Amino acid sequence: MSSRKAKRAEFIFVFVMVVASLWQTAPAALAILPAHGPNLGIQNDTSTSCTLADSLFLLRSNPKERIDAQVQISNLSDKISHLEDPSFITPELDMSKISAEKRDLIERALSMSRLHVLASLLTRRGTLLAVIGETDKAIADLGEALDSDNNYAPAYNNRACLKASGGDFEGALADATKALNISPNFAEAYDTRGSVYLAKKQYLKAQKDFDRAIATRPAYAEAFYHRSLLMKALGKHDDYAADLKKAKELGY
């Protein structure tokens, strides 16, 4: 191998290793809020008086999931505190033989990757905070996630759900739409936006989004369930029964 090719191969190796070492910190999967819908949230004395708009965004979680969430929040907080300090992530490889220009490329890529991983961790923690009922803290984490990486679609989607749960439907629509602009095949965001349209009684827009969510992911139980609520609101009882049956078959 020529000297030039050897140097190029070494640069690529260093570049990949540095970025990969940072990504080991990231959560294994996208952070998506648990299932939500009428009478599926934590029960309280006022749950039976909730309107459809209020109850659409209640999270369904059991005691074990809430305990697990608290444990994970603690672990995530440690990782986040480290990543919030840019000096914490330093290449564990000797880059002394790499040119200043290439070192700069690696450092910039490392910085971008750090911010993206930080966004994923904040989104994960925010999601878990929502599971245990800490909505304000959850929204704050999701906002910080988007400050780190304003193209992180899951953060927009989850914040849309939480905004809707607080009655901010316009803010929720804006966030869900932003998520879809970034990720056009994001089934959860179609379901979120469809649920907001349903709460606003904009039924045609709701059906379009639920249909798209199901077309994108045919086994999406939650979207079938939410579409069944739409069918019920429209007085389409056969379609309501069919979608509800499908949602149950899929484990909702």
User: What's the pLDDT score for residue 41?
Assistant: 34
User: What's the pLDDT score for residue 77?
Assistant: 94
Q: Which pLDDT band holds residue 11 (cuts at 50, 70, 90)?
A: very low
The answer on pLDDT for 43 being more than 70 is no
CA-based torsion, 86, 87, 88, 94: positive or negative: positive
* Cβ atoms 189, 180 nearer than 8 A: yes
* Of the candidate ranges 19-33, 129-143, 209-223, 231-245, the one whose mean pLDDT is the lowest: 19-33
Q: Which residues contact 210 (CB under 8 A, 6 or more apart)?
A: 190, 191, 194, 223, 226, 227, 230
Model's pTM, two decimal places?
Answer: 0.80
User: What's the pLDDT score for residue 160?
Assistant: 95
User: What's the pLDDT score for residue 56?
Assistant: 81
User: What's the pLDDT score for residue 71?
Assistant: 92
* Of the candidate ranges 31-40, 69-78, 155-164, 203-212, the one whose mean pLDDT is the lowest: 31-40
The answer on pLDDT for 65 being more than 60 is yes
Arithmetic mean of pLDDT over the chain: 81
The answer on pLDDT for 50 being more than 80 is no
pLDDT digits (tens, 9 = 90+) for 85-103: 766 555 555 556 667 676 6
Q: Which pLDDT band holds residue 66 (cuts at 50, 70, 90)?
A: confident
Percent of the chain at pLDDT exceeding 90: 55
pLDDT digits (tens, 9 = 90+) for 190-240: 999 999 999 999 999 999 999 999 999 999 999 999 999 999 999 999 999
User: What's the pLDDT score for residue 86?
Assistant: 60
